[in-house]
């Protein structure tokens, strides 16, 4: 399982790879000297499907396709090609060839994209894991219960950051302190 960790303010913390069958107590963040400490209690159900977020513990998770960053550009180019065809500017064989390549690339990316489980509360994303049937796609009613704290009031920023440090301190530590 790969986890793209985020903190309570939904800011990226790092990426960690872990084998859920081993359930290690901690793992090093990819490319960093920090470690993430896991709490596996009630994290997996009887079918070894993730039941709650491994970063914040929230039980509200939604499934979605993990599209690559260039997918948005690909969709725009496909729409542009569609408009060219509609208005009769796609008679050139080279333009048609490029449009077919773009269309096929989009289809391959769509079919090959992995599913991921995302936490409603902190937006931590979990990849390469079995998904349970009760994991549904994004739901506005559930999302409204987790408005997030991504844009704290300017005068309260210092206080918020202090709170967050205290909250994530048990989970994240520098290797120097662990050694």
Cα–Cα distance, 79 to 99 (Å, whole number): 10
Tokens 């409204």, located at residue? 144
**By C-beta, is 99 or 118 nearer to Zn ion?**
118
Q: For residues 80-109, which are near Zn ion according to CB under 5 A?
A: none
Cα–Cα distance, 29 to 34 (Å, whole number): 6
Closest distance to Zn ion from the beta carbon of 36 (Å) = 13
Closest distance to Zn ion from the beta carbon of 90 (Å) = 46
Q: Does 124 bind Zn ion (CB under 5 A)?
A: yes
Residue span binding Zn ion (CB under 5 A) among the ranges 35-43, 50-58, 75-83, 142-150: 50-58
Closest distance to Zn ion from the beta carbon of 53 (Å) = 3
Task: Lay out the sheet containing 114-119: strands in order across.
Answer: 12-17, 2-6, 125-127, 114-119, 61-66
Residue span binding Zn ion (CB under 5 A) among the ranges 14-22, 33-41, 58-66, 141-149: 58-66
In this chain, which of 16, 122, 125, 132 binds Zn ion, going by CB under 5 A?
122
**67: number of Cβ within 10 Å:** 14
Q: At residue 44, what are phi and psi to the nearest 5 degrees?
A: -115, 145
Q: Does 18 bind Zn ion (CB under 5 A)?
A: no
In this chain, which of 3, 13, 16, 56 binds Zn ion, going by CB under 5 A?
56
Cα–Cα distance, 16 to 32 (Å, whole number): 10
Question: Of 123, 167, 150, whose CA–CA distance to 6 is shortest?
Answer: 123
Question: Which residues are near Zn ion by CB under 5 A?
Answer: 53, 55-56, 58, 119, 121-122, 124
């Amino acid at each position: 399982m790969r986890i793209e960790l985020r903190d309570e303010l939904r800011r990226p913390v790092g990426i960690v790879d872990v084998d859920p069958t081993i359930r290690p107590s901690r793992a090093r963040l990819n490319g960093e000297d920090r470690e993430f400490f896991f709490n596996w209690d009630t994290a997996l159900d009887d079918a070894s499907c993730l039941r709650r977020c491994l970063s914040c513990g929230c039980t509200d998770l939604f499934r979605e396709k993990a599209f690559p960053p260039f997918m948005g550009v690909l969709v725009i180019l496909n729409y542009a090609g569609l408009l060219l065809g509609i208005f009769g500017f796609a008679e050139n064989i080279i333009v048609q060839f490029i449009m077919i390549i773009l269309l096929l690339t989009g289809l391959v990316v769509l079919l090959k994209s992995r599913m991921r489980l995302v936490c409603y509360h902190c937006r931590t994303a979990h990849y390469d894991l079995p998904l349970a049937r009760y994991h549904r796609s994004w739901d506005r009613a559930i999302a409204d219960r987790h408005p997030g704290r991504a844009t704290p009031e300017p005068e309260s920023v210092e206080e918020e950051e202090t709170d967050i440090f205290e909250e994530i301190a048990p989970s994240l530590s520098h290797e120097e302190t662990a050694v």
